[in-house]
Structure 1
Amino acid sequence: MMLEARNLSIGHGKTLVGRGLTLSVAPGEVLCLLGPNGCGKTTLFRTLMGLLPPLAGQVFLGDRPISTRTRAEIARRIAYVPQAHAPPFPFEALEVVLMGRTARLGAFGQPGRTDRATALDAMDHLGIADLAGRNYAQLSGGQRQLVLIARALAQEAPLIVMDEPTASLDFGNQAQVLSRIAALVSGAVEDGRSVVLSTHDPDQAFALDARVVLMHRGGILAQGAASDILDGPRLSAVYDMPITVETTTSGRRVCLPAVS
């Protein structure tokens, strides 16, 4: 396994957020953590990446506990895409993407021609090569999020972790970013890269056709293919409202509030 959590309890200090969390991510696999805001997804992510110590249980990165690995080792294996990012200086978009090379260069290394080519390739892969010279702070929310995903690609880590990458975006930017993520996800199996992302929107889990871990009140309610575990009763329990799952004429599955 590339990443594995064994009977994990998570939280902040002595405050327990979740317990009994067991999951794994294999090479070339796409895993979606699904659940409402406040269910513990971000805390779980931070624990899986070694940023928070587990309150119980263990996280394994490869064949070793993540607690035994240095931050440099982790950075070469896990790339992180946050929900939002506000740079302290007016960097160009390409400069932000080049920051992903730090894991390969070290703290004081300077990016060279190969690093620049890798960063540009990552931007081109996501269809944003034309943004390279633009001021990152002046880009739209969707464009900034794609730059952060390109930064993660430039890091060349075998595992990419995305924490609700569309959470702060409007509908149009959500659609733009999700379509790029879907393309990235579809190629993950072919190139051996694994992707773990979280969302509070079950429609996104259906759209990505990934393996799903359905979280509820700090625990895991179900794991499996979205088509197998995301049904009306489970989603109604998780989101505390009546929900139905319907299939559109195009064959896409969508979630809707139940109408009496």
Structure 2
Amino acid sequence: MMLEARDLSIGYGTTVVGTRLSLVARPGDVVCLLGPNGCGKTTLFRTILGLLPALAGSVMLGGKPIAQQRRAEIARRIAYVPQAHAPPFPFEALDVVLMGRTARLGLFGQPGARDRAAARHAMARLGIADLAHRDYSRLSGGQRQLVLIARALVQEAALIVMDEPTASLDFGNRAQVLAQIAGLTRDTGAAGCGVILSTHDPDQAFALDARVLLMKDGRPHAEGPADTVLTARNLSAVYGIPVTVETTRGGRKVCLPSLDLQSAPTMTSDALTMA
């Protein structure tokens, strides 16, 4: 199962948000979208999920235009993991995971023993089996994010799209979620799931050995392996600040802003409000 976006123009109605955007994702791949706020990452996600029509170009899923596929058909092929949130009703974590079976059961289908077994297996695989009967809204941000990943797993989709899966998580939960994302590409079948994720942290693309689409102002600035794309020059150009890329003693690359914090100007309250 392959997802291919070809020379996309994206946006809303007559408002163009991005142009000339292309990406390919297959089972076993990690594709990482990086870029400043407002560069078009969320709109691109909505377009490749079939929620927005492409203004130009095409999105192919399994060799067929996504615009020609029914929502249920897309949901069996692509799972979506939003940022963790607290729902208005106190669902148990197991019930949240079971919601992922809707794509397999149909709108009015009821989950049976096999579906519950699949949900429990997905939670056990992610190390959260003990959360099954806990109130989802009372879980930590990291635990909720793992529940949402488990929900995506029970869809049995070949591709998973994740919108900033580590946003607002603390250091430990962020590391845990990243480890599970890396495992997804290896553990499902021979090749694993394909994962497309957005993030504001280029270090995560290095850690996941991802292919990167680096975006600026709605256009691709660079695309390719993280080691090739995430250079000091590219990151400085995209984010508008001097950036260095260093290698740790363990051989891992990390990105650091090269700002002189001692001489940086103090922001006024008005400037902070505008930011």
Alignment TM-score > 0.5, same fold? yes
- 1:64 equivalent in structure 2: 64
- 1:156 equivalent in structure 2: 156
- 2:91 equivalent in structure 1: 91
- 2:45 equivalent in structure 1: 45
* CA distance in 1: counterparts of 2:192 and 2:48, whole angstroms: 20
Q: How far 1:182 moved relative to its partner? A: 2.4
TM (normalized to structure 2)? 0.90
Contact between 1:60 and 1:66, CA under 8 Å: does it hold in 2?
yes
Q: How far 1:259 moved relative to its partner? A: 4.9
Deviates more, 1:105-114 or 1:31-40: 31-40
1:177 paired to 2:177:
yes
Give a deviation string over 1:18-76, Cα, whole Å, max 9, x none. Answer: 00112211233221111122211111000000001111111111121111101000111
What does residue range 8-27 of structure 1 map to in structure 2 within 5 Å?
A: 8-27=8-27
Contact between 1:119 and 1:150, CA under 8 Å: does it hold in 2?
yes
Q: One-letter code of the match for 1:190?
A: A
- 1:78 equivalent in structure 2: 78
Contact between 2:185 and 2:192, CA under 8 Å: does it hold in 1?
no
Structure 1 residues 168 and 259, CA, compared in 2 at 3 Å: closer, same or farther? closer
What does residue range 239-254 of structure 1 map to in structure 2 within 5 Å?
A: 239-254=239-254
Gaps of 5+ in 2: 261-275
Q: CA RMSD in A?
A: 1.5
Structure 1 residues 217 and 129, CA, compared in 2 at 3 Å: closer, same or farther? same
* CA distance in 2: counterparts of 1:80 and 1:186, whole angstroms: 19
Q: How far 1:184 moved relative to its partner? A: 2.2
Structure 1 residues 14 and 84, CA, compared in 2 at 3 Å: closer, same or farther? farther
1:168 paired to 2:195:
no
Contact between 1:185 and 1:208, CA under 8 Å: does it hold in 2?
no
Contact between 1:97 and 1:147, CA under 8 Å: does it hold in 2?
yes
Contact between 1:5 and 1:60, CA under 8 Å: does it hold in 2?
yes
Q: One-letter code of the match for 2:176?
A: Q
TM (normalized to structure 1)? 0.95
Q: How far 1:85 moved relative to its partner? A: 3.0
Aligned residue for 1:9, secondary structure, equals strand
Aligned residue for 2:167, secondary structure, equals coil
Identity level (%): 71
Q: How far 1:189 moved relative to its partner? A: 8.0
Contact between 2:90 and 2:137, CA under 8 Å: does it hold in 1?
yes
Give a deviation string over 1:70-90, Cα, whole Å, max 9, x none. Answer: 100011110000013332311
Q: One-letter code of the match for 2:4?
A: E
Aligned residue for 1:177, secondary structure, equals helix
Aligned residue for 2:104, secondary structure, equals helix
Give a deviation string over 1:110-137, Cα, whole Å, max 9, x none. Answer: 1111111111111111111110010000
* CA distance in 2: counterparts of 1:254 and 1:188, whole angstroms: 29
Contact between 1:28 and 1:189, CA under 8 Å: does it hold in 2?
no
Deviates more, 1:182-191 or 1:236-245: 182-191
* CA distance in 1: counterparts of 2:59 and 2:45, whole angstroms: 11
What does residue range 118-157 of structure 1 map to in structure 2 within 5 Å?
A: 118-157=118-157
Q: One-letter code of the match for 1:152?
A: A
* CA distance in 2: counterparts of 1:89 and 1:191, whole angstroms: 37
- 2:256 equivalent in structure 1: 256
